[in-house]
Amino acid sequence: MTIKIQNYSRKIGQRGKYDWYQWKVFVDEDEETLAKIKEVEYLLHPTFPNPNRVVKDKESAFALESVGWGSFSMLVTVRYKDGREERTRYFLDLNKPWP
């Protein structure tokens, strides 16, 4: 099974010559699947402070929010309560509108 990851983004201003965006990346699965997950680790672009982020909040669909100026590919590791792990790459698309 390949876990589905999704993101939202919105422009929040400008810093220097770059547009800045608030973004949220999360697990886009049903409640039954979310209930089986222990935590999700997002490995962000190395320019982020503390690029290795772990989220344990099932209620938010293991969402991670941050800000930045560019799209990038991240490694996402889903750790299940039964000990399994699933890794996937996800491309953060800053053109996906906030709902």
pLDDT at 99: 87
In this structure, is residue 98 part of a structural domain? no
H helix count then E strand count, the chain: 1, 7
In this structure, is residue 19 part of a structural domain? yes
pLDDT at 18: 92
pLDDT at 2: 85
Mean confidence (pLDDT) of the chain: 96
The domain tally of the chain equals 1
Q: What is the pTM of this model?
A: 0.94
Q: Domain range spanning residue 53?
A: 5-92
Average pLDDT (27-51) is: 96
